[in-house]
Structure 1
Amino acid sequence: MIIVTGGLGFIGSNIIHALNARGVTDIIVVDDFTDGTKFTNVSDAQVADYFDKDEFLTRVQQGQCFNGKVDALLHQGACSATTEWNGKLVMENNFTYSKELFHYADQHRIPFIYASSASVYGNGTTFIEDPRFERPINVYAYSKTLFDQYVRRHVVSGQSQVVGLRYFNVYGPREQHKGGMASVAFHLRNQLLSKKVVHLFEGSDGYGPGEQRRDFIHVEDAVDVILWFLEYPAISGIFNVGTGKSQSFNEVAQAVLTAFGYGELQYIPFPEHLKGRYQSFTEADITRLREAGYNRAFRSVESGVLDYMEWLGQGEPIFARGAVATL
């Protein structure tokens, strides 16, 4: 049995589909189902049971171990909005909740693989899994930084597997419910289908229009890393999950335009509210991941975005609650 928190969400639902493809269906999904549209992410998946995140936490606090059959706890659930400034809300969901699951997994000797974030590096230029380079610039990033620090302090030799994965810019299928937090590729497709134009921000932090660079990783590649760690339960630690190569937003836009064969790229003013709170450059140092033994290739923006656009199809724009037509 494998428990996936955030199982209705973006990375969580892709984990479930990947497990199904490997013949695994004894999966417990944990999530907040307030947004009912998320059901589409797992409507064609095979799972064993579902628990609301609050009910699941109660069971954890009561020490229930699901008949002792849990093989792994993949904790992907979080308040993931980098623009959320309700610190109490973010810390309860991302830090306090995670601590409870971490100690539960430790007590019952369950491998624990959780979602961290590249946001912990803030506006830094060095992306190595070391506290010296952690510079969070928003509450979401701080919550992830604090939990990574907590894990470092409490992991002891001989403990069951504990893995923190610092996802960089993940994009791909089943992210439509994320609204404004969905990937740039997703939003550019909507813009193109709506107006035959795609928008990127003008320059910021010394970068020219659309030349801000991120490490964009396809969700299937990120999920492959997660399932690889399940195969090697002796490996623990905090690891970057990116391609190791940054690419520009212009390259993402060009990949979308190429996939559709039409459209125009235009630049819009950089928003005032994002100044000083925006990562204009990220690039995962994946040395630690490679040294752990993961040697598989990652898709480039050109191939990954093309795969994604083919999966979405060339029909109508997809606007979930809170989604917008611009970046």
Structure 2
Amino acid sequence: MSHHPSHLTAAVPRRAVVTGAAGFIGSHLAHALVQAGAVVIGVDRRGPATDPTAAANLSVLQGLPGYMHVTADLLSCAIEPLLVEANAVFHLAGIPGVRPSWGPKFSEYVASNVLATHRVMEATSRMGVPRLVVASSSSVYGPTDGGASIETDRPQPASPYAVTKLAEEQLCLAHSTQAHCPTSVVALRYFTVYGPRQRQDMFTHRALTAALTGRPLRLYGDGHQRRDFTYVDDAVIATVAAATIPTASGVINVGGGSSASLLEVINIANSLSGREIQVHQENPRSGDVLTTRANPGRAHEVLAWRPQIDLHTGMRAHMQALATGSAAYGHSA
């Protein structure tokens, strides 16, 4: 059974802008908002006409009244016209991924995650949009002692990617503290979001694809790394709440439902598929931390949010989506 966040119980913004709408979380968010009656402008530099992933992710929004897709690069396009009468901006656009951020691609991370964010925040403020929700990441915490990360912990990003995500959230929050800024900012630190349409380099997607196809799974490290897995529908509900709850502000963890090791994920994938995944173990990769775990207290207190979907249920829904071909195997890395 699949849980649709179209059952957003709380209010939704009347008119919202979602950047990164052709991405994994962005497409789910835009869809849930439209289903709940919002008018949504989605912005992404990947166009459904030219980018197969964008086309697949946006197919659920195809032809829905209330959704308009704009293919544009936030580094150079005029942003203000997109924000006319918007009640909220969800800024999810950016370059993800820890591994590729080491090295020559770093300047692209800075351009997309920091400079484009600066333009979005300035435009949002100038247009008087009351709320901006910015997607941050649990990676800003860096290596921990294995305990749950709380928003007041000192960030220690362990990869160039994580450095840009911390810069991005702090940049928006810095703008919002200026006396003349009409926009309040909520930065959501997402913890390992998974589910249908997840990026193909992500572990849950790779494990389920291996289980379905019989192809071997590359495992970096011994598999005892733990992650706080958050099902995408749960992440969407928290994200909408962050835009609509008037008192929400600052940094909030989105996670704290399903802490599991990578080996446990493999075991669940095995049991769901009835097939034993062949694992090829490789060396750990730099910037991968051993444990991520959210203290969910602030999300509960400020957003009245608790994750509803456990890892087994979420992975089953994710696997069904893969099996029905809503994400083709052909081009997984």
TM-score tier by shorter-chain length is: 0.7 to 0.9
Is the CA contact (8 Å cut-off) linking 2:34 and 2:40 kept in structure 1? no
Distance 1:179 1:245, change over 3 A: closer
User: Which 5+ residue runs of structure 1 have no aligned equivalent?
Assistant: 204-209
Unpaired segments ≥5 residues, structure 2: 1-14
Evaluate the alpha carbon distance shift between residue 185 and residue 293 of structure 1 in structure 2; reply closer, same or farther with a 3 A threshold.
Answer: closer
Per-residue CA deviation, residues 121-176 of structure 1 (Å, 9 max, x unaligned), is 1222352223x53111221111011122323433227843311111111111122x
In structure 1, the residue corresponding to 2:210 is in which secondary structure?
A: helix
Equivalent residue for 2:98? 82
CA contact (8 A) 1:243 1:299 kept: no
Instruction: Judge conservation of contact 1:193–1:317 (CA < 8 Å) in 2.
Output: no
Quick check: 1:166–1:238 contact (8 Å CA) kept in 2?
yes
Counterpart for residue 169 of structure 2: 148
* 1:255 and 2:276 matched: no
- Show the 5 A alignment for 1:108-127: 108-110=127-129, 111-125=131-145, 127=149
1:116 and 1:167 in contact (8 A); partners too: yes
Measured in 1, the distance between the counterparts of 2:117 and 2:327 equals: 35
For residue 198 of structure 1, report the CA deviation from its aligned partner: 4.8
Question: How many residues are treated as equivalent by the alignment?
Answer: 305
Q: How does 1:30-69 map to 2 (within 5 A)?
A: 30-33=43-46, 36-37=51-52, 38-45=54-61, 46=64, 47-54=66-73, 57-60=76-79, 63-64=80-81, 66=83, 68-69=84-85
Give the equivalent residue in structure 2 for 1:191. Answer: 210
1:163 aligns with 2:186: yes
Q: Does the C-alpha gap of structure 1 residues 194 and 307 become closer, same or farther in structure 2, counting only changes over 3 Å?
A: closer
User: Which residue is 1:13 aligned to?
Assistant: 27
Cα–Cα, structure 1 residues 133 and 14, in superposed 2: closer, same or farther, change >3 Å? Answer: same
Q: Which residue of 1 aligns with 2:328?
A: 318
Aligned partner of 1:268 in structure 2 is 280
Q: Distance in 2 between matches of 1:115 and 1:283?
A: 17
Corresponding residue SS for 2:59: coil
1:202–1:229 distance in 2 versus 1, CA, 3 Å: closer
* Post-superposition offset of 1:302: 1.4
Quick one: structure 1 residues 121 and 23, their matched pair in 2 at CA, closer, same or farther if it must change by over 3 Å? same
Alignment correspondent of 1:29: 42
By percentage of residues, which structure has more helix?
1
Question: Percent identical across equivalent pairs?
Answer: 27
SS at match of 1:113: strand
The CA RMSD measured in Å over matched residues stands at: 2.5
Instruction: Please state whether the residue corresponding to 1:179 is helix, strand or coil.
Output: coil
